[in-house]
Structure 1
Amino acid sequence: MRSDVVVRAGWRQWTGLAVLALPAMLVMIDMSVLHLAIPRLSADLDPSASQLLWITDIYGFLIAGALIPMGALGDRVGRRRVLLIGAGTFGAASVLASYAPTAETLIVARALLGLAGAALGPSTLSLISVMFHDPRQRTTAITVWMASFMAGGAMGPLVGGVMLEYFWWGSVFLAAVPVMVLLVALGPVLLPEHRDPRPARLDLPSAAMSLMAVLAVVYGIKEVAKDGFAPVPAAAIVVGLAVGVLFVRRQRRLADPLLDLSLFSNRSFTVSLSTLTITVIFMLGTQFLMAQYMQMVLGLSPLTAGLWGLPLVVAGTVAIFVASALAGKIHRAYIFGTGLVVAAAGFAVLTQADASAGLPVVVTGSVLLFAGLMPVSGLGIDMIVSAAPLRQAGSAAAVGETTQELGGALGIALIGSLVNAVYHSRMTTVVPEHLPAAADTLPAALAAAQLLPERLGEELVTYARNAFADGLQLTAAIAIPVLLGLACLAVLLLRRVSQDADPPADEDQPVKTSSPQASP
């Protein structure tokens, strides 16, 4: 029997939330902080081209691939236990990466960081669903968690820039160590332990299939986004999808599946997951283009471009907290719809971002975009986790986070490919015959311009920047009807879904949990 009285979280739970938000922020910082250190790292360790690719990519690959197995593991053996093991591993791997004497050692350290990061994500999010029983408090807590992710993504380049200004390249990894030590020390005191009251055996073949499917698809998508279509990335995507199909079939046959597919029969879960996927595709794909536009079209330095990215973060953070506050008064279906309409307005502004538009158009459009899409992401994650029984919260959280990883990779690939196609079609008729690579990408054109006489070089740069801006404008124009249509669908499908429901009760046995009582 479940009590009708909802215990509200007290100071211990809110303090525990602060402890959970920090590692979430650091996972995102580690996603981007390495890129700034590549020049110094390369000079010191002298990695081969292949090794350098693995150093930069293996962290994100393993996070994406290991999220579902780690979420399921937390459900079975305890979310706090997996979180603390992940935190300890993340701290130790950060030290190893910081002082790595060889490229091979750094690759191993980055792989360990990826596995540890995958353990941190679902554990933090699923523990929030255990710590905050009141639906409105839970929404606020998940909002704080999402805001920490956003802040981490924005702070990565800034933290990395400051560390590299005063210290060696390995210092960019050490910022994580004191935070992970704090988490390991305070976690047992502030965080409850929670796991499935009837833990099933972890199906290792399913875990391996999940890892392989996501890794192959993410690898293929990212390679296509970087270098265009090629047989190997295409084969990786096909293999990943095939393994994914086999994974789904295996889950249907197992008595205790790694991922309970019945979650997808819940309308709140499925619609929120679908909306989140499309939202992330546009949000991260556009963010990727904005970074290139600011640096290669407007000519800003990486640090200046990073600073101009802060208004996006501030707008998204403010919007997600406002949406969280309104969620108790306005049905989330209408918040979803409004956010998607605001994002469409942001894309309408970006249709005016030509090569001479300057920062006001780009920043205004991006601010509207993030202000519209971040509330959709935050409330979507909340609905995904809340739709699952408490014993499956880790798996539900992992599905939501895996969707974000896949959506981000897909967004960069699809939007990047569209922009590149427009760029190539504009440039094929104007590039010099002896510099054909200039028609492929904007960086190649900027490099080729250095080899031409001054006047011809300036003309090539102008053509190239205008061609890239044309691609951005077309992408924005396509996004407008997609987001408006998605807004209508979200309102129609979600308006009859209860928004204040607790997570479904676990049957037969009480949830196995150990924690101090919440303050009244």
Structure 2
Amino acid sequence: MEPITKAGRTEWIGLAVLALPTLLVSMDATVTYLAIPTISAILKPSASELLWITDIYIFLEGGLLITMGTLGDRIGRKKLLIYGAVAFAIASAIAAFASSAHMLIAARGLMGIAGATLLPSTVSLIRSMFHDNRQRAVAIGIWTTCFSTGTMLGPLLGGLLLHYFWWGSVFLISVPVMLLFLVMGPLFLREYKSPGHEKFDLVSAFQLLAGILAIIYSIKRIGERLVAEPISISLLVAGAVVLYFFIKRQRKITNPLIDLNLFLLAPFSATLLALLCSLFCWSGVYLFVAQYLQLVLMFDAQKAGLWTVPAAALGMISCLSAPLIARFAGRNTVIISGMILIMMGLIMLSQVPGNTGLFLLVFATILLTAGCSLAVTLGVDKVISSVPASRAGVAAGIYETSTTFGSALGIAVLGSIGTAIYRNSLHSEQAGNTLGQASTLSASLPAGQAKDLFQLAQASFNYAFAIVALFAVVILFIVILVVGRVYRSERSISPYADYVE
């Protein structure tokens, strides 16, 4: 066996260059949140158009991740990354100077398409640049930290820009960063692509996009309305049918868009399940944490946000320290341990509503976020390293799609369960379907009646919060058993023996 070449200065500088598009793409998913009121006042979009301004970016990015990962494997990951950066910069400039809601929606859609080219390319390039297992784990940890940091910085940066500049600045900020990347990228990044000249199947790409978009949209719709309407169920079924025919086509054609044999790799599939479930629990339960801080403890948005900082800080530290911990404990062990930390955090959160303890809530969210960071950081590394280097792009796209589904499913499923429990335990039509609605409705009632109604609504919410957290514990426990069994079946001579080169 030939000795593995360790990464040098060029590769580490290249990783820093890859951090630029990673930060931007993750930041752009949240940077518009605070700009929405200003955009509404100036462009005057309808309610439907306003939703599309925020949603179309996530929909198109999520729907194209696997396709773009495969395309990068075929034409070259660096080439696709450069093309995507140019498109992202142009779309950002168009969005910044949009003169109508339709123009902004179109620009955001183009940004989503471009974003789908960037994320799989950055992860797959890391797979190609870092051949040493330990160096690659550290690089993935840095990448994960950049991604999570960008997500958290989005609202903060958006608020600062809106304070000093016009609303378009939240999009225009991407242009100079992408220009810097376009200067540095060609200097420090090398080209990697699959050997051979496989054709790119457009029919498969369309089927995959249509199926994923239908499912993501239906799940998000259920999550927003907290009820499974006929149109949402129809879209979900339609998306599943389209994906069924997509899978049948992949088995027949010579050059499939996705090599379905990847899913026969037990470590690959088990780790995808672990990632999906971790994000499912984190996203779904955090929906209740945010409401508890603002509508039970009655904190304003700023104070509530500050109490989430400890968990965010520990999450970033966990991303960076995960590879170091894996050197001593083994990667599989740390992934499982991360999921156990999530489960411990969920159990604590189930006790918070009756305890009304702020510090218990904060400690629980620290465990939840730290555990999720450990599992995701090493999970990404395991998914990418469990497949041949020539398939790293499609593997990255599959991983990112699974986390997108996990987050959307968590909000939709846990949110719907929580709402059903809230309504059934409240026995009052006056309090609406959510605690937020109860707060609004109680404001129109006499003081005494309003206080009684809102306290009743808070008690029902607390009960729903506890049940949802325990439900997530059960789901996570089952997944831990399944994933743990797969990991135990792997031959592991050393902490890094399970890597496949």
Q: Same fold (TM over 0.5)?
A: yes
SS of the residue 2:192 aligns to: strand
Residues in 1 aligned to 2:335 and 2:432: alpha-carbon distance in whole angstroms: 40
Question: Residue 450 in 1 paired to residue 443 in 2?
Answer: yes
Deviation for aligned residue 1:71:
0.6
Aligned to 1:321: 320
Aligned to 1:241: 240
SS of the residue 1:194 aligns to: coil
Residues in 2 aligned to 1:131 and 1:251: alpha-carbon distance in whole angstroms: 29
SS of the residue 1:193 aligns to: coil
Aligned to 1:350: 349
1:466 to 459, 462, 470: 459
Q: Is the 8 A contact 1:311 1:367 kept in 2?
A: yes
SS of the residue 1:36 aligns to: coil
Residues in 2 aligned to 1:261 and 1:208: alpha-carbon distance in whole angstroms: 17
Question: Residue 494 in 1 paired to residue 493 in 2?
Answer: no
- Structure 2: give runs of 5+ residues left out of the alignment: none
1:169-208 map, 5 Å: 169-208=167-206
Residues 413-433 of structure 1 deviation map (CA, whole Å, 9 limit, x = unaligned): 011111111111122x2344x
Indicate how the Cα distance of structure 1 residues 180 and 38 shifts in structure 2: closer, same or farther if over 3 A, else same: same
Residues in 2 aligned to 1:290 and 1:369: alpha-carbon distance in whole angstroms: 11
Residues in 1 aligned to 2:352 and 2:224: alpha-carbon distance in whole angstroms: 23
Residues 110-145 of structure 1 deviation map (CA, whole Å, 9 limit, x = unaligned): 101100110101000000001101011001101111
Residues in 2 aligned to 1:463 and 1:70: alpha-carbon distance in whole angstroms: 50
Aligned to 1:435: none
Indicate how the Cα distance of structure 1 residues 102 and 241 shifts in structure 2: closer, same or farther if over 3 A, else same: same
1:105-504 map, 5 Å: 105-227=103-225, 228-354=227-353, 357-427=356-426, 429-432=427-430, 438-495=431-488, 496-498=490-492, 500=496
Question: Residue 69 in 1 paired to residue 62 in 2?
Answer: no
Question: Residue 100 in 1 paired to residue 93 in 2?
Answer: no
Deviation for aligned residue 1:459:
2.0
SS of the residue 2:32 aligns to: helix
Residues 268-300 of structure 1 deviation map (CA, whole Å, 9 limit, x = unaligned): 111111111111111121223322322233222
1:50 to 42, 48, 52: 48
SS of the residue 1:353 aligns to: helix
Q: Is the 8 A contact 2:330 2:496 kept in 1?
A: no
Q: Is the 8 A contact 1:78 1:195 kept in 2?
A: yes
Residues in 1 aligned to 2:4 and 2:332: alpha-carbon distance in whole angstroms: 24
What amino acid sits opposite 1:82 in the alignment? L
What amino acid sits opposite 1:28 in the alignment? S
Residues in 2 aligned to 1:222 and 1:195: alpha-carbon distance in whole angstroms: 34
Residues in 2 aligned to 1:24 and 1:292: alpha-carbon distance in whole angstroms: 29
Aligned to 2:28: 30
Residues in 2 aligned to 1:457 and 1:187: alpha-carbon distance in whole angstroms: 59
Residues in 2 aligned to 1:388 and 1:62: alpha-carbon distance in whole angstroms: 26
Deviation for aligned residue 1:37:
1.1
- Structure 1: give runs of 5+ residues left out of the alignment: 433-437, 506-520
Deviation for aligned residue 1:75:
0.6
Residues in 2 aligned to 1:224 and 1:155: alpha-carbon distance in whole angstroms: 28
What amino acid sits opposite 1:200 in the alignment? E
Q: Is the 8 A contact 1:158 1:306 kept in 2?
A: no
Question: Considering only aligned residues, what root-mean-square deviation do their CA atoms show, in Å?
Answer: 1.7
Residues 418-462 of structure 1 deviation map (CA, whole Å, 9 limit, x = unaligned): 1111111122x2344xxxxx3312222111112111221222222
Indicate how the Cα distance of structure 1 residues 225 and 25 shifts in structure 2: closer, same or farther if over 3 A, else same: same
Deviation for aligned residue 1:184:
0.9
Residues 70-97 of structure 1 deviation map (CA, whole Å, 9 limit, x = unaligned): 1111011110111111111111111111
SS of the residue 2:34 aligns to: helix
**Shift >4 Å, 4+ stretches:** 501-505
Residues 208-264 of structure 1 deviation map (CA, whole Å, 9 limit, x = unaligned): 011011100000000011112111111111111111111111101111100000111
Q: Is the 8 A contact 1:132 1:138 kept in 2?
A: yes
SS of the residue 1:34 aligns to: coil
Q: Is the 8 A contact 1:390 1:503 kept in 2?
A: no
Q: Is the 8 A contact 1:386 1:502 kept in 2?
A: no
Deviates more, 1:164-173 or 1:70-79: 164-173
Residues in 2 aligned to 1:290 and 1:246: alpha-carbon distance in whole angstroms: 40
Residues 22-45 of structure 1 deviation map (CA, whole Å, 9 limit, x = unaligned): 221221211112121111110100
Deviation for aligned residue 1:99:
1.4
SS of the residue 1:467 aligns to: helix
Deviates more, 1:292-301 or 1:49-58: 292-301
Deviates more, 1:43-52 or 1:284-293: 284-293
Aligned to 1:5: 3
Residues in 1 aligned to 2:491 and 2:24: alpha-carbon distance in whole angstroms: 34
Residues 293-322 of structure 1 deviation map (CA, whole Å, 9 limit, x = unaligned): 222332223333333222122112222333
Residues in 1 aligned to 2:295 and 2:165: alpha-carbon distance in whole angstroms: 28
Deviates more, 1:346-355 or 1:105-114: 346-355
Residues in 1 aligned to 2:498 and 2:270: alpha-carbon distance in whole angstroms: 18
